[in-house]
Amino acid sequence: MFSKLLSMDHSPVAEIYTPDSILSHSKITFRNTELTKGKIRYSTCTDVAWINKDRYLAVLNYAAESLHIYAFDRLKHTASPIQSLNNQNGMQLHEPDKFAFSPNGLYMAVTNNKAGSSSVNLYQMDPRSSLVHPVPFGVIKASDYRFHGVAFSNNSQYMVSTVTSDQGLIYLHKLIPQAHGAVKPELEQTVQNGYFPLKPKSINFSQDGSLMVVCFSSTPGKESPTSNGGIAIYSFDQQNGIVGTEPLCELIGNPEMAFTDDVAFSCDAASSYIAMTSQANDSIVFYPFDRKANQINPQFFALSNPQAKISFPHGLALSSDNQYLAVSNYGDDKVTVYSLNGEAKRQG
């Protein structure tokens, strides 16, 4: 599976720009972050996900506090908008950072990162249309810390979120079924951060649900070191909702992973590689992973510019058949979509 990446075309097959982007305004009032080498980053197109059996792309926007869902045509490589939501629809978004969709197709979770208004919001989805009901049915509020990443377990019974303030933490909530199809999150476990000053950013699960990968990074800034990223893999018992307290393996401090914000296992049965973003390098980095030995091979492949047209990549999503990669870009407020091999076909 990993070897196929070595011959992939670095050019995107599609570019999806955010409508009415703040970057198109004559005066951008939203704050920015200055990184190393004088690079300026605005927090715009923040996360992306494949839903509805990979037929739809969902896109979250930090600055615009909005959600857009597109139907993706695999033959024409075009995206057609089918739903757009913001706070006028009752979304209660406050600088939303990351989102996740439950594998059973029933729920969406969004992390709000704004200081003083940070939370994890839970929304119901229409199982027939895969569209989102805009008003959250549940909110986990944070009084003095800021949520960043979120993911559902493969059996949709647990939700994991990360906190990037203070020392950084990972929370595991059990989702207790309620009336009218809702769930109530109950805190089951808090995993301490063993990589401080790096903070846990995002989470993903292996195909069999037994492993949880977490990416770590420091807060971006012009004084931050260039080798400040990392990934660690933990065991996960999804039947009982238990995350191993010590990582099974790790890869920390390599320069190619600087300023990472998202990570994912490949979707094949062996979870044969790991993909992660690097904002410092404007690239997506892929590492081979040996599931039997639980080892990350540091010999990486990178999807990179100029052909890739990547600009401050913040979120990524692999389609369930490993045919497509979608990347959300802060730098020019867009999603780029890549074919991971030459055999991509439209789903029936």
Instruction: Return the domain boundaries, the chain.
Output: 2-20+32-339
Q: Minimum mean pLDDT among 29-33, 188-192, 315-319: which range?
A: 29-33
Band (43; pLDDT cuts 50, 70, 90): confident
DSSP for 155-193 reads: TSSEEEEEE-STT-EEEEEEEEE-GGG-EEEEEEEEEE-
Mean pLDDT value of segment 257-285: 95
Residue 277, classified by CB atoms within 10 Å of its CB into exposed (0-12), middle (13-18) or buried (19+), is buried
CA–CA gap between residue 4 and residue 224 (Å, rounded): 34
Residue 145 is predicted with a pLDDT of: 86
CA–CA gap between residue 275 and residue 254 (Å, rounded): 14
Of the candidate CATH numbers 3.30.460.10, 2.130.10.10, 3.10.150.10, 3.40.190.10, the domain formed by 2-20+32-339 belongs to 2.130.10.10
pLDDT at 289 over 80: yes
With a threshold of 0.85, does the pTM exceed it? Answer: yes
The answer to whether the CB of 84 falls within 8 A of the CB of 102 is no
pLDDT digits (tens, 9 = 90+) for 193-228: 999 989 999 999 999 999 999 999 987 654 555 558
pLDDT at 29 over 70: no
Mean pLDDT value of segment 21-50: 78
Question: Nearest CA to 136 among 162, 115, 109, 174?
Answer: 109
The answer to whether the CB of 330 falls within 8 A of the CB of 64 is no
Q: 214-250 burial string, b = 16+ CB within 10 Å, else e?
A: bbbbbebeeebeeebbbbbbbebebeebebeeebebb
Residue 348 is predicted with a pLDDT of: 31
The answer to whether the CB of 122 falls within 8 A of the CB of 183 is yes
Mean pLDDT value of segment 231-254: 96
pLDDT at 317 over 70: yes
